[in-house]
Amino acid sequence: MKNYDVIIIGAGAAGLMCAAFASKRGRKVLLIDSAKKVGEKIRISGGGRCNFTNINTTAKNFISHNPHFVISCLQRFTAQDFIQMVKKHNISFHEKTLGQLFCDFSSQQIIDMLLTECKEGDVEILLENEVKNITKTENLAQNFVLNIKNNSSEPLSQQVSCKSLVIATGGLSIPKMGATGFGYDVARKFGLKIIETYPALVPLTLDKSMLEATKSLAGVSVNAEIQKNLSKQSVKFREAMLFTHRGLSGPAILQISSYLKKGDLILINMAPDHNFYETLLAEKQQKPKQEIVTILAKYLPKSLSNYISQAHDADGWMADLSNQKLKEIANNVNAWIIAPEGTEGYAKAEVTAGGIDTNEISSKTFECKSVHGLYFIGEVIDVTGHLGGFNFQFAWSSGYAASQFV
C-alpha cells in the first residue's frame, strides 16, 4: 500500500490548486479523479476562455449561512495573487465587464498552468479512478486508508493511505460532466452537517401560459435590473436578461437565481435608466402622432416593443392613448412582476448552492473541526459566489489555504 502525505479527491480548480501548493511545501501528493481529464469545468467556463477571477472580489460577492467565512482565505490568496500566477505563465488576458478577467485565447491555458505547477512539485495524478471507501485509522502517518478502483475495461483495485485527506469534488451542477454528491457523502460518513443544496446561477423556467405569451421573444436580450420580491432592501442585479424557449436566462437572471426559493417573485425593470411613465408622457406631448410601438422601440428591442403594445392592446397614435394606459405600459417596462415556475436544475446550473456547513470547518485551515486530517475545499462547502469569476477565486483561495496546513 502506497502512503502519501496528502491525497486530494477531485482534480478541478480547487483540487489542482491545493495539490500544486502543497507539493511546493515538500508534501508527497496524490490527486485522484474519476474523470478522463482534469479541470473539465475550467475548460468549458467563460465560453471556453475561462473567467478565472474578478478583480473586485470581496466577501460581499458570496452567499453562505456564514457570510464571514470566506474573508480569511480571500485575504491570504487574493485575485491579484492568482493574476501573478497567470502572468508568470505568460497567459494573456483581458477584463470584459465588471472586473471579470478572461484568457485572451483558451481556458486550456489555465488548466495547463495548474498542471505545470503540479508537475514542478511531482504531484502524482490518478485519473479514471473512483474512491470506493474511506477508513479513518488511529495511525497518524496513515490517518486515512482509501480503496480506489480503476474505471478501465479491466478494473484494478488498490489501497492508498495518507496523513491528510482533502475533498475537492465540487457540487451537483452539470452532472453530464461527472458531478456527483460524493463530497456530501463523505461529510455524512463523518457526521458533518450539510446545508440543503439547490441549483444556483441557473436559468429560470416559466409556466405554460407565460411561455405561450412570450414565445415570440425567445432569443431577445435586454439590459435589465432584476430584483427579488418587492422589498426595497431586497437584493438586485443589473445586467443582460435573455428570453428563452423555456423561460428567462442571461447574467442578471443567473445572478438572482441563487437567492430564489420556490414561490418567490421577481421584479424586472427593462429600462432601469428611465422613469418610463414620465418618458411616455413627454413623448406623447412632443410626438402625439407617433405610434406607441415606435416609441417603445426607441428604448427596447423591436420584438419586445411589439409584445408589450399587443399585451396592453395599445394600437394607434400616442395622442389616442390615455395616461392610465401609458402608466400600465410603463409599469410593464419598469416593474414587470413574474412568478418563475422553477429553474432548469443542476443540468444547467453553473454551481451548487448550500453544501457542507461552514461551522464544521476552520476558515483558516479548511480542516474539519471534528475529524483531524480531513479537509474540504471549493464548491462542496456552503459558499456560493456571484457570476463573474468569484467561484473560481474561492476555489483558488480555499485550495491555497488548505495547502498550507495539509
pLDDT in tens, 313-337: 988 899 999 999 999 999 999 999 9
**Predicted pLDDT at 21:** 98
Confidence label for 303 from pLDDT (cuts 50, 70 and 90): very high
Query: What is the pLDDT of the chain when averaged over all its residues?
Result: 95
CB 59 within 8 A of CB 73: no
Classify residue 355 as exposed, middle or buried by CB count within 10 Å of its CB (0-12, 13-18, 19+). buried
Question: What average pLDDT does the segment 10-23 reach?
Answer: 98
Q: Would you say residue 304 has pLDDT above 80?
A: yes
State how far the alpha carbon of 182 is from the alpha carbons of 130, 226, 249, 397, in Å: 10, 34, 29, 22
Residues of the chain with CATH 3.50.50.60: 2-199+352-403
Q: Would you say residue 230 has pLDDT above 80?
A: no
% of the chain surpassing 90 pLDDT: 91
pLDDT in tens, 277-286: 999 999 999 9
The CATH number that domain 204-343 falls under is 2.40.30.10
Query: What does the H/E/C string look like for 135-165?
Result: EECCCHHHCEEEEEEECCCCCCEEEEEEEEE
State how far the alpha carbon of 244 is from the alpha carbons of 157, 210, 218, 290, 304, in Å: 46, 12, 4, 31, 13
Query: Which residue is associated with the grid cell 469545468?
Result: 41
> What residues contact residue 322 under an 8 Å CB cut-off, 6+ apart?
none
Residues of the chain with CATH 2.40.30.10: 204-343
Q: What is the CA radius of gyration of the chain?
A: 25
**Predicted pLDDT at 205:** 97
**Predicted pLDDT at 229:** 74
pLDDT in tens, 114-151: 999 999 999 999 999 999 999 999 887 889 999 999 88
Confidence label for 248 from pLDDT (cuts 50, 70 and 90): very high
Q: Which of 13-17, 29-33, 95-99, 400-404 has the lowest mean pLDDT?
A: 95-99
**Predicted pLDDT at 154:** 62
The CATH number that domain 2-199+352-403 falls under is 3.50.50.60
Distance CA 253, CA 271 (A): 15
